[in-house]
Amino acid sequence: MSPSPPPFELAAASLREALAGAGQGLVEREAMVELVALSAVAGEHLLVIGPPGTAKSEAVRRTARALGGSYFEYLLGRFTEPSEIFGPVDLRKLRDGQVETETAGMLPEAEVAFLDEVFLGSTAILNTLLGVLNERVFRRGHTRKPCPLRVCVGASNALPEEESLAAFSDRFLARIFVEPVPDPRLEELLAGGASLWRETEAHVASLEALDVLARVAQEADLAPVRPHLAQALRTLRSAGIGLSDRRAVKAQRLIAAAAALAGRRTPGPADLWPLFYVVPTKEGQELAREVLRELLASTENPALAAAALEASAGPLARAQRIAREGRLLLSAPPAEGTEGGRPAWRLKLEGIAREVDAGFAPEALPPELRALRDELRAVLEREAPAQA
């Protein structure tokens, strides 16, 4: 007898905890981790564009572990055979004239998939993938079987220019563009990368929790948020950023999923920010962030704080990001004598405190930052004598 699904609130909390663990050590990739989960809840797919060596596969791998689903990963090339992705032909049945595919351990049986250099796949591979992505059905020869796929993440160094790939590319509703970690965060990159070498016990959510959130998102009443979404779409159009009708309609799935992950059954203006990731080009996203700034000012999402902040640059999302970073620092003070030690930790705490003071007027300080600021002051005052 299968266990009963967890209540909505517990499912949302479980996913939040799992995502927080998956993102630790992945500097500048927290938003990508969160978008994989957002897409999985929405039942949509994510395209990641960025140069090699930017931790794309590591971010997806860690998120897949956090979500608890079966995982398939492959690097495609010009000469990749369909059997490398979907499985080999069953030779025993082939002798009887039946072309059946052995899919055990391959993409048709995965719940989370990552396909690197996805646009290098052959026509045969991409045509078969279209059925898997669109309908969650694998078709090859005599084989017809449903796929349990929650989300497929495709990655590439650049968007394809070939017209023939446009239809396939458009099946990835959400887009994120990644760059190498900037100079000011290189120390964090080195420390975070080293931490990934050590096996740590991380919280793992269940597919049942994911399904609970997906069901809440599917049943969400989007009527209250539609006027705000329509206004955002008009704003994008007036700025020359056109979205196809299909992408505009499907954006509602990401908005409903964002609300569910935040613990809300009914989406509101705070959940509009995924529209930013539906804009298909990097230049379009940069412009969208500017023209939608006012409409997205109320953005906040405790589960997807990094992705929400990148989309909106709004004060509430920024406050959640600062609060999360501050809490992580306060929860892990280094022992005396460790490399970097207390002085480096204190400097980081001072940096968080300065960011709070510089980014928010005292009368406009959100409650979570007010409490964090008080704790930071107390710790800094307590640490001061030891550093004298």
| Residue 252 near residue 261 (C-beta atoms within 8 A) | no
Q: Of all helices (H) and strands (E), which one includes residue 359?
A: helix 341-359
Distance CA 114, CA 74 (A): 7
DSSP alpha helix (H) spans, 262-340: 275-278, 282-291, 305-312, 315-331
Return the pLDDT at 339: 55
Task: Judge residue 30's burial from the number of C-beta atoms within 10 Å of its C-beta, 0-12 exposed, 13-18 middle, 19 or more buried.
Answer: buried
Q: Of all helices (H) and strands (E), which one includes residue 64?
A: helix 56-67
| Residue 102 near residue 198 (C-beta atoms within 8 A) | no
The dihedrals phi and psi of 169, each to the nearest 5 degrees, come to: -60, -35
Distance CA 192, CA 201 (A): 16
Return the pLDDT at 334: 79
Residue 367 CB contacts under 8 Å (≥ 6 apart), including other chains: none
Distance CA 119, CA 166 (A): 10
Distance CA 80, CA 311 (A): 35
3-state secondary structure of 371: helix
Distance CA 30, CA 307 (A): 7
Return the pLDDT at 340: 58
| Residue 302 near residue 330 (C-beta atoms within 8 A) | no
Distance CA 313, CA 306 (A): 10
Q: Of all helices (H) and strands (E), which one includes residue 174?
A: strand 174-177
- Closest by CA to 300, choosing from 369, 226, 237, is 369
Token pair 């005292």 in the structure block, residue: 362
Tell me, what amino acid is at 111? E
Residue 72 CB contacts under 8 Å (≥ 6 apart), including other chains: 105, 106, 107, 109, 110, 112, 113, 114
| Residue 132 near residue 149 (C-beta atoms within 8 A) | yes
Q: pTM higher than 0.85, yes or no?
A: no
Kindly list the averaged pLDDT for each block of 10 residues, start to end, along the chain of length 388: 77 90 85 96 96 90 90 95 89 70 92 96 93 92 89 94 86 93 74 68 80 96 96 97 94 97 95 96 92 91 90 73 80 70 81 79 80 87 65
| Residue 150 near residue 22 (C-beta atoms within 8 A) | no
